[in-house]
């Protein structure tokens, strides 16, 4: 536990209390501290087992995971890639890195996700791929997205940066589309400090991503570079931390689900609040979130919580209104209505029922 003190409750906390320290020192003492080594291999293989995919490739962070995915699919200038507006900006930036154009899909008013209904009207002859984001760990209805994608011959990338372990039926998110991407940033479901990973069942896509992640070096011919690649590797040190985190991911997910249930129990009687609906799977509630009746009430509530030592986060700004993407002129009215009313509440193993009761009391007070 790092951030929790008597009078400050952080929105998320990093729990490194398992084998993280011992594996990290093992990697350190072995001298294998760069972007290859036994912990890289072990993390990749354990993540494939966890996610139910044939291939996993560790990489520097969740943003370059998206970049590798789009590169492997051949996304380039002239292509369009459909992305949600209500997401972290990295989803759209990865499209820009490829010289392609992000096309912003609006949010569903209940799940806050961009699913098949929002994506369908945006498909054109230039659409090369869609990136689905399981926002705050809430699974998107992938069957509907895959049916749409097949009908229009477009690829599907799942940005599962916030959704490690979320399921739809018996499938884990990140194993359903052509490629899944994950982030291991400090506040995600599991962490390596900075880090990321891509998953796929497709051998050719896996090989393309591995080639690009390792500067483009031909695996069969050392220092022969058939393409311009990138150095996007994750270090053996970071993978050592990641392997220890993955050993405990079941606990991390249970803690977040318990947190979400407890929030609901304490907040559901407040009529003015709206919650994120979860009809399409079993989410992991990376950040439990609420919508206030209006932006003014949102800001007032966040201030009152802050004054009482409780950190919160505003929901993401809709990406289509941010300066780099404004000129594309996208229209996402639902995302614009949701975002300024939303708060991410402290979520994770560091939050117990007492804290949630206190937070609920303060939210009531702010709305009174």
Kindly list the residues in this chain that would bind ligand PLP in the complex (CB under 6 A): 61-63, 87-88, 90-91, 133, 159, 161-162, 183, 185, 196
- Considering the complex, state which of residue 23 and residue 316 has its C-beta at the smaller distance from ligand PLP: 316
- Considering the complex, state which of residue 93 and residue 202 has its C-beta at the smaller distance from ligand PLP: 93
* Nearest approach, Cβ of residue 286 and ligand PLP (Å): 8
* Nearest approach, Cβ of residue 56 and ligand PLP (Å): 16
- Considering the complex, state which of residue 163 and residue 211 has its C-beta at the smaller distance from ligand PLP: 163
* Nearest approach, Cβ of residue 170 and ligand PLP (Å): 24
CB–CB of 196/62 below 8 Å?
yes
Cα separation, 74 vs 55, in Å, equals 19
* Nearest approach, Cβ of residue 121 and ligand PLP (Å): 22
- Considering the complex, state which of residue 191 and residue 262 has its C-beta at the smaller distance from ligand PLP: 191
Residue in the shown chain whose Cβ atom is closest to ligand PLP: 62
* Nearest approach, Cβ of residue 103 and ligand PLP (Å): 17
* Chain centroid, CA 164 distance in Å: 8
Let me know how many helices (H) and strands (E) the chain has, helices first.
Answer: 12, 13
Nearest Cα neighbor of 321 from 301, 338, 345, 298 is 338
Helix (H) or strand (E) holding 83, with range, is strand 80-84
216-220: long-range pairs with CB below 8 Å, 24+ = none
Query: How many other CB atoms are found less than 10 A from the CB of residue 50?
Result: 19
As given in the structure block, the two tokens for residue 141 are 């209805």
- Considering the complex, state which of residue 116 and residue 163 has its C-beta at the smaller distance from ligand PLP: 163
């Amino acid at each position: 536990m790092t951030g929790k003190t008597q009078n400050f409750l952080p929105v998320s906390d990093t729990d490194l209390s398992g084998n993280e320290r011992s594996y990290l020192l093992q990697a350190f003492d072995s001298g294998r501290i760069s972007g290859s080594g036994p912990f890289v291999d072990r993390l990749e293989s354990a993540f494939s087992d966890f996610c139910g995919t044939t291939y996993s490739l560790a990489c520097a962070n969740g943003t370059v995971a998206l970049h590798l995915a789009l590169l492997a699919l051949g996304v380039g200038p002239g292509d369009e890639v459909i992305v949600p507006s209500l997401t972290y900006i990295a989803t759209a930036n990865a499209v820009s890195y490829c010289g392609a154009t992000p096309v912003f899909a609006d949010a569903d008013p209940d799940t806050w996700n961009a699913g098949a209904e929002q994506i369908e009207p945006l498909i054109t002859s230039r659409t090369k791929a869609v990136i689905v984001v399981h926002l705050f760990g809430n699974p998107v209805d992938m069957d509907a997205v895959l049916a749409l994608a097949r009908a229009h011959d477009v690829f599907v990338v799942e940005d599962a940066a916030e959704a490690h372990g979320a399921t739809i039926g018996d499938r884990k998110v990140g194993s359903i589309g052509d490629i899944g991407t994950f982030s291991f940033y400090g506040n995600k479901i599991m962490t390596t400090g900075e880090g990321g990973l891509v998953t796929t069942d497709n051998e050719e896509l896996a090989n393309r991503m591995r080639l690009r992640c390792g500067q483009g070096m031909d695996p069969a011919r050392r220092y022969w570079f058939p393409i311009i690649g990138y150095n996007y590797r994750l270090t053996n040190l970071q993978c050592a931390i990641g392997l220890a985190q993955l050993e405990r991911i079941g606990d991390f997910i249970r803690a977040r689900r318990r947190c979400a249930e407890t929030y609901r129990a304490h907040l559901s009687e407040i009529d003015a609040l709206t919650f994120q609906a979860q009809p399409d799977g079993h989410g992991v509630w990376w950040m439990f979130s609420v919508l206030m009746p209006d932006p003014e009430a949102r800001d007032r509530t966040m201030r009152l919580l802050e004054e009482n030592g409780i950190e919160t986060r505003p929901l993401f700004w809709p990406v289509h209104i941010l300066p780099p993407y404004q000129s594309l002129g996208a229209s996402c009215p639902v995302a614009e209505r949701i975002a300024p009313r939303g708060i991410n509440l402290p979520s994770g193993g560091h939050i117990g029922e007492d804290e949630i009761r206190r937070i609920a009391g303060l939210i009531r007070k702010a709305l009174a």
